Structure 1
Amino acid sequence: MSTLALLMVLGASVAHALWNIAAKSSSGDTTVFVWMYYTAGAMLCLPVGLTLLVMRGDSYGWELLYAAMITALLHITYAMLLQTGYRKADLGVVYPVARGVGPVLTIVVAVAVLGERPETLALVGGLVIIGGILIVTGRRLFQRASGLGAGLLYGSATGAAIAAYTLWDNYSVNDLAIEPILYFGFSGAVQCLIMLPWVIRKRALIRPTWRSDRRQVGIIAALSPLAYVLVLYAMTTTSVALVAPVRESSIVIGALLAWWLFKEPDPVRRVAGALVVVVGISLVAVS
Structure 2
Amino acid sequence: MTTFVWAAVLSAALLHALWNSVVKSAGDKFMSSARVALWTGVVAALVSLVTPAPFVASLPYVIASALIHVVYFLLVGRLYRNADLSVAYPLMRGLAPLVATAIAAVTLRELPDAVALAGVLALVVGVATTGLSGLAHGRIDRVTLVVALFNSVIIAVYTVIDGEGARLAGPDAAHAFAYNAWSDELTALLYLPVVLALRGKAAGPELVRDSPRSAFAGLAAFGGYAIVVWAMTQAPIGAVAALRECSVVFAAIIGVAFLGEPFRGARAGAALLIVGGVVALRLA
State the TM-score, normalized to the length of structure 1. 0.84
Equivalent residue, structure 2, for 1:219: 216
Check if 1:81 corresponds to 2:78: no
Aligned positions of 1:167-182 closer than 5 A: 167-177=160-170, 179-182=175-178
Matched, 1:206 2:195: no
- Match status 1:105 vs 2:104: no
Q: Does 1:118 align with 2:109?
A: no
Q: Distance in 2 between matches of 1:126 and 1:232?
A: 18
CA distance in 2, matches of 1:155, 1:59: 32
Which position in structure 1 is the counterpart of 2:189?
A: 193
Give the drift of 1:75.
Answer: 1.4
Point out the more displaced range, 77-86 or 165-174: 77-86
Q: 1:227 to 1:26 in 2, by over 3 A?
A: same
CA gap 1:151/1:267 in 2 versus in 1, 3 angstroms: farther
Q: More displaced, 154-163 or 210-219? A: 210-219
Superposition deviation, residue 158 in structure 1: 1.9
Identify the residue that residue 48 of structure 1 maps to in structure 2. 47
Asked if residue 9 in structure 1 is aligned to residue 9 in structure 2, the reply is: yes
User: What is the CA-CA distance between 1:95 and the residue it aligns to?
Assistant: 1.1
- Judged with a 3 Å threshold, the aligned counterparts in structure 2 of structure 1 residues 117 and 254 are, in CA distance, closer, same or farther, namely same
Give 2:126's aligned residue. 132
Tell me which amino acid in the other structure corresponds to 1:82.
V
In structure 2, distance between residues paired with 1:215 and 1:86: 21
1:39 aligned residue: 38
Letter in 2 for 1:18: L
Matching residue of 2:156: 163
The yes-or-no answer on 1:25 pairing with 2:25 is yes
DSSP 3-state at the match of 2:246: helix
Q: 1: distance between equivalents of 2:191 and 2:144?
A: 25
Distance, in Å, in 2 between the alignment partners of 1:5 and 1:124 is 19
Q: TM-score, normalised by structure 2?
A: 0.85
Gaps of 5+ in 2: none
Rounded Cα–Cα distance in structure 2 between residues aligned with 1:65 and 1:131? 35
Matches of 1:263 and 1:117, distance apart in 2 = 41
- Relative to structure 1, the CA distance from residue 173 to residue 164 in structure 2 (aligned partners, 3 Å threshold; closer, same or farther) is same
Q: Deviations over 1:185-206 (max 9, x none)?
A: 2222211222233233323322
Q: Any stretches of 5+ residues in structure 1 without a counterpart? A: none
Instruction: Assess, with a 3 A threshold, how the Cα gap between structure 1 residues 124 and 243 changes in structure 2: closer, same or farther.
Output: closer
Q: 3-state DSSP class of the match of 2:110? A: coil
Structure 1 vs Structure 2 CA RMSD:
2.7
Give 1:132 shift: 2.4
Give the secondary structure class of the aligned counterpart of 1:52.
coil
State the 1:174 CA deviation: 0.5
Whole-angstrom CA distance in 2 between matches of 1:59 and 1:215 = 30
* Residue 147 in structure 1 maps to residue 150 in structure 2: no
Amino acid at match of 1:223: A
**Alignment partners' CA distance in 2, 1:134 and 1:247:** 14
Q: Determine helix, strand or coil for the equivalent of 2:262.
A: coil
Partner residue, 2:180 = 184
Given that 1:180 and 1:232 are in contact with CA atoms closer than 8 Å, whether structure 2 keeps it comes out as yes
Mapped contact 2:24–2:85 kept (Cα < 8 A): yes
Residue 268 of structure 1 is matched in structure 2 by: 265
User: C-alpha deviations, 1:62-120, integer Å up to 9, x for none?
Assistant: x4542221111121222222221111211111111222211111122233443333233
Count of aligned pairs between the two proteins: 280
- Quote how far apart the aligned CAs of 1:208 are: 4.9
Which is worse superposed, 243-252 or 268-277?
A: 268-277
**1:282 Cα shift?**
3.5
Q: C-alpha distance in 2, partners of 1:44/1:214?
A: 13
Identity between Structure 1 and Structure 2 (%): 26
Partner secondary structure for residue 37 of structure 1: helix
